Amino acid sequence: MKCDAMAKKLAVIFLITLIFNQTSALIIPSAIVVAISSMGYLGPKIYCQLKECCSGKWTSPNITGLQLSLQKRVFGQHLVTETVSKAIIGHLNNKSPGKALAFSFNGWTGSGKNFVSKIIAEHLFRKGMDSKYVHQVIATHDFPHQAELKHYKKKLKDLIVRSVKGCPRSLFIFDEMDKMPFGLIDVLKPYLDHHHEVERLDFRKSIFIFLSNTGAGLINQELLTHWKEGKKREEIRIKPLDEALNLNEFNAKTGFWHSSLIEKHLIDYFIPFLPLERSHIKMCAKADLELKGYPVTEEILNRVADEMLYSPEDLKVFSKSGCKKVSSKVDYIML
């Protein structure tokens, strides 16, 4: 018996040594997990060295990296870089937050809503958007039919409860809120409200991000007025736009239409994403060229910027697609 026990221990040590030395391409991590587990020696610490867990290196937020990434990789969005990182840091530093943190990212297509969501995921979870604790819901894909509302409510509720049960610091990203079935999002109210527990689970450490084009016209008009008055876009402050977006989301016939989440003030921050100008398109082009290993010249940057469509028609100030088409335009120009 003692010999068997010693043999098993030596086998475990041998397997773990192979894992950390990474000397054999034939060893498959998942197979190792099964092998060690079958011997009865797989404790939480060993398992979490191999598989993603809601602890340790997998969920240790890189706050400094988040701040730097937002500052260096997000162009023309001072309201975003000023507000988002501070809000997340405050939430993470609070060991017992009063409620889950909820953002509504509003703005024109291509202004960076999805990009910023991805940056947040990258710096909160080691595996970023591939983490099993990051959940992206796309309205037109996951909930396309208003008639299926009852079924969708159960599906969404089950997703939230199951996810938070697995990791209290789960991140939920809801894309295309302007296309979400009316009434669906209200199923989230108990999980976003000021409750210590719901269904014996604590949802207060979770983060919810809602992405929407709703309010883009309002944001664009505000910036255009600012621009016509000769003011810098950096002079725009978030408070008046936050209030206007709050009201606009509640009244617009989209996913937040007459939603209890807005009525009960459960969305903590309405973040306006400003439309991007030609200078920002060139910044996006520069970043894409560098990423792909291409030379960066003013001529190339101007050619990329010239490929974009701008509005309003008489002034041509804002890119109609933001930076969304920049990467494909770079590929086309550099052929």
Parallel/antiparallel/unpaired status of strands 101-107 and 134-138: unpaired
Bridge partners, residue 107, by sequence: 273
Instruction: Report the C-alpha gap between 130 and 149 in whole angstroms.
Output: 28
113 is in an annotated binding site: yes
107 is in an annotated binding site: yes
DSSP string, 212-241: E-TTHHHHHHHHHHHHHTT--GGG--HHHH
319 is in an annotated binding site: no
257 is in an annotated binding site: no
114 is in an annotated binding site: yes
Neighbour count for residue 237 (Cβ, 10 Å)? 11
Yes or no: say if 233 and 274 are a contact pair by the CB < 8 Å rule: yes
Give the single-character DSSP code of 257. T
Bridge partners, residue 136, by sequence: 173
Parallel/antiparallel/unpaired status of strands 269-273 and 101-107: parallel
Binding-site residue ranges: 107-114
Binding-site residue ranges for ATP: 107-114
